[in-house]
Amino acid sequence: MAKPHPHPHSHSSSTSTTAFLGLGLHKKKKWVLMVLALFSVSTLIVLLMRAAISDSCAHRIRDYRKDSAQREIPGFSSSSRASSSPLGVGADVVWITYQKPAETDEVVYSLENKMLDRGVQVFSAKGQKAIDTALKADLVVLNTAVAGKWLDAVLKDNVPRVLPKILWWIHEMRGHYFKLEFVKHLPYVAGAMIDSHITAEYWKNRTKERLGISMPETFVVHLGNSKELMEVAENSVAKRVLREHVREALGVRNEDLLFAIINRGRGVSAALWKKMGEEKGTKEGVSRGKGQDLFLRAFHESLQLIKQKKLQVPPMHAVIVGSDMSAQSKFETELRDFVTEKKIQDRVHFINKTLTVAPYLASIDVLVQNSQARGECFGRITIEAMAFQLPVLGTAAGGTTEIVVNETTGLLHPAGKEGVTPLARNMVKLATHVERRLTMGKKGYEKVKERFLEDHMAERIAFVLKQVLKKTKGHT
């Protein structure tokens, strides 16, 4: 696999575990692909692209967005991560969904309706429409590793005709994605796009060593915050109102310190894994891989440290966003049992998974990004928190290391059990040093403005599309 392209705007991105599939536009001389944030909603997106890409494409994206806001699909908080997937600007877009839940799902419902409101066609990944769309497209974007199963399951004999037109957008780092049934076609696609340099290198080594296949030319594209989110983050009145509302609902005072771990809840559902012949599924929002258990242990330890050292700090609270009140998993039950056992029920708050994270970012003081093992592929919530001028306490793993500058925009700690005590100490550090906490938040905001905005991402995406469409030309 080729090294991630050293484009000056390439930096990092976020993890995603559902099956989006591609995007397609089919208006001559009006192409533009803009993806703000692909989070997780078991889907595929196929775009028909039928136009040459000009050198000024990023400029045209920005101009078109100003002139035709109604055509833009803005980033909206994920499933929460229903993420923002403003995939097409200046073109007709087809959203192909791989799976819809049997029951109404807030994430899928919201995403689908936002798409339909903007004239985006939505139909099932199974059927002749999906096949015809892929065959007509100048470019097909597979979103996430598991989307590869769609190729054989639906396109069947047509796979060889579509492979040369595929840009494969990968957001995963978990080991169970490295199976030939998912990614066997990777060497034959036009290119791959991955959210961080560390993840791109991991895929390059892992596919070669474990599967004996090579990656195609690979581009690294860091995600960027949507204009929608930035408008809230930069509106002091809106933030104050949201802060007061959320804190009142939680029963905490304005001067209390809130440390939060926010996972919107996406991932490949158990039902989708079953369809793919897999036994394992991922719990949306709350899961061992996201490290909420170790976060709570660190929080409890930080309270003990403060008590032992007799430090004078405001009351501290831990907030976990991404819970599922209607169907608690065994893991979430363990979390709640731990809280009861340690008698910290008045200090820990579980909040149901939600599409909208801005109110919680406005109401907390510190974000904890505690993803375990290899960490996040990128971690969109990290740059969202930085937009709200929040310091980040993150694991020194994955894409987080390409976002958080240790000791400047936040503090890093090891993944795993060995990271519990360092995280606890970092919590105490930020609780006892107000100026340091505020300075880190401001530095994080400056980094977002410099590198992680929607326009930055548009430029990076435009660059990748231009390179990939050079290859796909002639395969339509």
pLDDT, residue 250, reads 97
Residue 28 belongs to a domain: no
Angle between helices 420-432 and 434-451 (to 10 degrees): 100
Residue bearing tokens 């080729």: 2
Average confidence (pLDDT) over 192-216:
95
Q: What is the pLDDT of residue 455?
A: 92
Q: For residues 307, 312, 313 and 315, what is the CA-based torsion angle, rounded to 10 degrees?
A: 60
Of 7-16, 219-228, 454-463, give the lowest mean pLDDT range: 7-16
State both tokens at 408.
């400047």
Give burial (CB, 10 Å; 0-12/13-18/19+) of 36: buried
Q: Which pLDDT value is given to residue 147? A: 85
pLDDT band at 190 (very low <50, low <70, confident <90, very high): very high
Q: Residues 136, 259: one domain?
A: no
158 pLDDT higher than 60: yes
Residues 410 and 367 in one domain: yes
Q: What is the C-alpha separation between 142 and 165, in angstroms, rounded?
A: 10
Residue 408: the pLDDT is 98
Q: Based on the fold, state whether residues 234 and 156 are members of the same structural domain.
A: no
Residue 21 counted as domain residue: no
Which range, of 29-43, 283-297, 392-406, averages the lowest pLDDT? 29-43
Which has the minimum average pLDDT: 9-18, 81-90, 134-143, 316-325? Answer: 9-18
Asked if residue 377 and residue 278 are part of one domain, the reply reads yes
CATH number at residue 299: 3.40.50.2000
Domain membership of residue 277 (yes or no) is: yes
What's the whole-number average pLDDT of the chain?
Answer: 78
Confidence at 78, pLDDT banded by 50, 70, 90: very low
Tokens of 377: 């592929």
162's tokens: 């579509």
Q: Looking at residue 59, what is its pLDDT?
A: 43
Q: What is the 3-state secondary structure (H, E, C) of the chain?
A: CCCCCCCCCCCCCCCCCCCECCCCCCCCCCCCECCCCCCCCCCEEEECCCCCCCCCHHHHHHHHHHHCHHHCCCCCCCCCCCCCCCCECCCCEEEEECCCCCCCCHHHHHHHHHHHHCCCEEEECCCHHHHHHHHHCCCEEEECHHHHHHHHHHHHHHHHHHHHHEEEEECCCCHHHCCHHHHCCHHHCCEEEECCHHHHHHHHHHHHHHHCCCCCCEEECCCCECHHHHHHHCCHHHHHHHHHHHHHHHCCCCCCEEEEEECCCCCCCHHHHHHCCCCCCCCCCCCHHHCHHHHHHHHHHHHHHHHHHCCCCCCEEEEEEEECCCCCCHHHHHHHHHHHHCCCCCCEEEEECCCCCHHHHHHCCEEEECCCCCCCCCCHHHHHHHHCCCCEEEECCHHHHHCCCECCCEEEECCCHHHHHHHHHHHHHHHHCHHHHHHHHHHHHHHHHHHCEHHHHHHHHHHHHHHHHHHHCCCC
Question: Distance between CA atoms of 87 and 142, rounded to whole angstroms?
Answer: 12
Residues 233 and 210 reside in one and the same domain: no
In contact, 138 and 165? CB cutoff 8 Å: yes
The C-alpha atoms of residue 10 and residue 402 are separated, in whole angstroms, by 11
Of the candidates 6, 14, 94, 78, the residue with the CA atom closest to the CA atom of residue 354: 78
Tokens at residue 347, please?
């200090």
Q: Kindly state the percentage of the chain with pLDDT values over 70.
A: 72
Q: What is the pLDDT of residue 235?
A: 98
Q: According to the model, what pLDDT value does residue 137 have? A: 82
Handedness of CA 271, 272, 275, 277 (dihedral sign): negative
Say if residue 166 is in the same domain as residue 299: no
Residue 7 in any domain: the answer is no
User: Quick one: pLDDT band at residue 124, thresholds 50, 70, 90?
Assistant: confident
Range of the structural domain that residue 233 is part of: 227-451
| Same-domain pairing of 263 and 161 | no
CA 393-17-370 angle, to 5 degrees, is: 15
Does residue 317 share a domain with residue 216?
no
Predicted confidence at residue 123, as pLDDT, reads 75
CA-closest candidate to residue 315, choices 303, 300, 330: 303
CA gap 110, 210 in Å, rounded: 38
Q: Answer yes or no: is pLDDT of 26 > 90.
A: no
Out of 73-82, 260-269, 279-288, 314-323, pick the least confident.
Answer: 73-82
On whether residue 18 sits in a domain, the answer given is: no
Phi and psi torsions of 252, nearest 5°:
-115, 155
Q: Is residue 238 part of a domain?
A: yes
Contact (Cβ atoms closer than 8 angstroms) between residue 162 and residue 155:
yes
Residues 294 and 361 in one domain: yes
Number of domains in the chain: 2
Residue 30 lies in a domain: no
Tell whether 58 and 190 lie within a shared domain. Answer: yes
Question: Is the model more confident about 61 or about 107?
Answer: 107
- Residue 231 sits in the same domain as residue 371: yes
Sign of the dihedral defined by the CA atoms of residues 460, 461, 466, 469, in that order: positive
Which range is least confidently modeled, 76-90, 105-119, 120-134? 76-90
pLDDT, tens digit (0-9, with 9 covering 90-100), for 354-403:
878 999 999 999 999 999 999 999 999 999 999 999 999 999 999 999 99
Whether 118 and 233 map to the same domain: the answer is no
- The angle that helices 57-67 and 454-472 make with each other, rounded to 10 degrees, is 130
Note the pLDDT of residue 56.
40
Within a domain: 300: yes
Picking from 115, 114, 65, the residue whose alpha carbon sits closest to that of residue 92 is 115
Sheet holding 44-47, edge to edge: 44-47, 93-97, 121-124
